[in-house]
Amino acid sequence: MRKRQRVTMWFEMADENFGQYLGSFSYLLRKLSDRDWWKAVALIELLDERPDIRSVAWCDDHLNRYARRRDMVRTHCTAHGIRLMTLCPDRGDGLTLYNIAAVEVFLTSKTERPHG
């Protein structure tokens, strides 16, 4: 049996797992309205604060559940010339080696990739 590690979904784990790459996630703890998805709001805020980010690979098993918010991020990225790859892995399998390879290809290439 393979061991799995969950790295996100819990606010208190975000700084530990991603802080070294993206800075503090403490702003995620503030209360958002019930209609806002904290992940979409946080990503847009991060992109507005970090104009040096030109490509984003967003992997989340909730992307299909929050399609309207995902599309809001996609629109924001398009308007700001940011390349976006979205990947909604199966909750049971998590990210596969194939998924990770696809993200690596996307982030290291300069060509446009299809969304989704």
Give 65-106 pLDDT, tens digit per residue.
888 888 989 999 999 999 999 999 988 888 899 999 999 999
Calpha distance 83→67 (Å, rounded): 18
Q: Identify the pLDDT of residue 87.
A: 93
pTM recorded for the entire structure: 0.68
Whether residue 116 is contained in a domain is answered as no
Whether residue 67 is contained in a domain is answered as yes
Whether residue 35 is contained in a domain is answered as yes
How many domains would you assign to the chain?
A: 1
Domain span including residue 21 = 11-108
Calpha distance 111→108 (Å, rounded): 9
Whether residue 19 is contained in a domain is answered as yes
Whether residue 113 is contained in a domain is answered as no
Whether residue 21 is contained in a domain is answered as yes
